[in-house]
Amino acid sequence: MEYINLGKTGLKISRIGLGAWQFGGDAWGGPYEYGIAKEVIAKSVELGINFIDTAAVYGRGRSEEFVGRAIRELGGIRDHVVIATKIPGDWHRYDDVLKAARRSRERLGVDVIDLLQLHWPACWHNVPICETMKAMEKLVDDGVIRYIGVSNYPLQLLEAARSCLKKTDIVSSQNRYNLIERDAEKELLPYLQREGGITLIAWSPLAKGAVTGKYSPENRPGGVTLGKTSRYSILIILGR
Ligand SMILES: NC(=O)c1ccc[n+]([C@@H]2O[C@H](COP(=O)([O-])OP(=O)(O)OC[C@H]3O[C@@H](n4cnc5c(N)ncnc54)[C@H](OP(=O)(O)O)[C@@H]3O)[C@@H](O)[C@H]2O)c1
């Protein structure tokens, strides 16, 4: 396994991460039970994966619970694993950010969340970006989270978010990026490469199985999301 820097944090994360979207939900043909999630996490860690990405909305909180519980039960791995979670765009007001982060921390059962990402912009609530970032910075100050990331932010909003931060910086940007969906190459990726220090975390790097030969015109995906039987998913981390 290759390990790369998470932004300029000094944390080393595996080039391939484990996505915990399916954990605890039934959109992928589930229910996706805890026992399977634990097995997937154990195998991933054994293979050298140390970056796990979950979110408050995955399985309506159950994914975070599964990740935290598995890490505790597997014993002795907490210090080697970087836990990333996200809070949805609906909760980006100052007080909501603080509340959501504390709830995620409780569900994960950890002292501190390594990376808290804003899952998508507060696009239909018109929350000023600096209000949200002020809350994120307070969470760092209070020791609730270690680092701040964004997800699905267009470049201009990412820049605006960075300009609101007084003491810290954004360390990662999580965006859809794979061989088929390459919009990130137009402006986001060149910006990140130019700036340095912000890691691109590519979500759906296998285009949900579309690039692996899993589907064909005769064998189309079913279910609410692509593919009814997914049991695991990955993320690819770009950077050095
Ligand atoms: N920030 C966001 O808004 C956002 C959005 C979506 C996802 N994500 C994150 O990204 C993670 C990955 O997303 P994803 O599940 O959409 O993407 P993905 O990794 O591109 O796709 C998962 C699919 O790829 C197949 N697959 C995985 N490894 C394979 C391999 N070695 N060979 C063949 N097929 C393989 C799986 O097949 P099987 O069905 O056989 O298991 C599954 O259908 C999520 O868990 C989540 O953490 C974030």
Can you give the pLDDT at residue 220? 75
Q: Residue of the nearest CA to atom 8 in ligand 1?
A: 203
Does residue 67 have its Cβ closer than 6 Å to ligand 1? no
Report the alpha-carbon distance of residue 233 to residue 240 in Å, rounded: 22
Q: Which residues of 199-216 are buried (b: 16+ CB within 10 A; e: fewer)?
A: bbbbbbbbbbbbeeebbe
Does residue 203 have its Cβ closer than 6 Å to ligand 1? yes
Cβ neighbours, 10 Å, residue 144: 18
Average pLDDT per block of 10 residues along the chain, 240 residues long: 96 97 77 90 97 96 97 94 97 98 98 98 92 98 98 97 97 96 96 95 89 80 55 70
CA 181 to ligand 1 center in whole angstroms? 14
Can you give the pLDDT at residue 172? 98
Does residue 102 have its Cβ closer than 6 Å to ligand 1? no
Catalytic residues: 58
Pocket-testing residue among 13, 175, 183, 203, ligand 1, by greatest number of atoms within 8 A of Cβ: 203
Can you give the pLDDT at residue 228? 46
Report the alpha-carbon distance of residue 31 to residue 108 in Å, rounded: 20
**Domains located in the chain, CATH noted:** 3-239 (3.20.20.100)
Does residue 232 have its Cβ closer than 6 Å to ligand 1? yes
- pTM of this prediction? 0.93
CA 55 to ligand 1 center in whole angstroms? 14
**Whole-number Cα distances in Å, 202 to 76, 187, 229:** 28, 15, 22
